[in-house]
Amino acid sequence: MMQTFKSRLTKKELLTDNVYLLEFKLEEPDHLEFQAGQYMMLLCPQPDETHLSRLYSIASFPTSSNTIELVFEVIPEGVASNYIMSIDVGSQVQFRGPAGMFILKRDNHRIFLATGTGIAPIRSILQNIIRGNARTEHTNFLFWGVQYLKDVYFLDELKSFTKEHPSFEFFICLSQEQNLDAVLEEDKKHFILGRVNVGLEKRLGKSITGEPQELPKDFDYYLCGGRTVIESLRLYLLDKQIPKEHIIFEKF
């Protein structure tokens, strides 16, 4: 059963032009148990003293804690955006939760496909794989799609994950960039021009000789992002003969 949590906004860090990392300290109750990949319901107060709820995946480490982090994209005239942009650090905020089934299903090789702020629950899952109870020697790939280089955040953290877990690799897929000239030379190995499915094909859809090969069917595929894109990726994987029981997804 979901609980109602009173919390206080303790950090409001601008990551890109329209994406924030928000941190909340829980006050009542003062701690939260959740599974990596789950979400909370942000309660947005209305003039008639009711609340509208909006769902946000928890982006922080999945352990008993008195703080949670959310990745928040500002949507013009959005209910939650108007609310969050109107409050300052120190303001009290209410949530309900946790909830959601976008969680690890089994210990297996995994490919994570994220678009935009769909990286939030996957960040939590990766932290649990690399630093927490779900640590494993199985291979884990992340393909994260954004439009431009300026839309990238968490790069240093993802790079640190590769140092801590030799079987983790990540690739950021830039759908609107024409070249990688602005990317530091040492980081270019982590970037691919094109959409997420293009990155997946370039990295795993070809053999070391460059010949086309099937995508791995024994991996689990975790998809998270905008509704239209994730549905397109789900159908793409099915068309590639990936068994449907190996495709776990969350759309927003």
* Closest residue by Cα to residue 144 from 100, 102, 203: 203
Q: What Cα–Cα distance (Å) separates residue 245 from each residue in 18, 63, 145, 221?
A: 35, 28, 23, 9
Question: What is the pLDDT, as a whole number, of residue 210?
Answer: 73
Question: What is the pLDDT, as a whole number, of residue 42?
Answer: 98
On average, the pLDDT of the chain sits at 94
* Closest residue by Cα to residue 56 from 88, 10, 24: 24
Q: What is the CATH number of domain 110-251?
A: 3.40.50.80
Question: What is the pLDDT, as a whole number, of residue 221?
Answer: 98
Question: What is the pLDDT, as a whole number, of residue 207?
Answer: 67
Question: What is the pLDDT, as a whole number, of residue 131?
Answer: 86
Asked if the domains 3-99 and 110-251 are classified in one and the same CATH topology, the answer is no
CATH of 3-99 among 3.90.1150.10, 3.40.50.20, 2.40.30.10, 3.40.50.150:
2.40.30.10
- Would strands 39-45 and 3-14 be described as parallel, antiparallel, or unpaired? unpaired
Q: What Cα–Cα distance (Å) separates residue 133 from each residue in 62, 104, 126, 184?
A: 9, 12, 11, 33
User: Domain limits of the chain?
Assistant: 3-99, 110-251
Mean pLDDT for 106-126 is: 97
Higher pLDDT among residues 69 and 62, named by residue? 69
pTM over 0.85: yes
Mean pLDDT for 84-98 is: 97
Measured in degrees and rounded to the nearest 5, phi and psi for residue 174 equal: -100, 110
How many H-runs (helices) and E-runs (strands) does the chain carry?
Answer: 5, 12
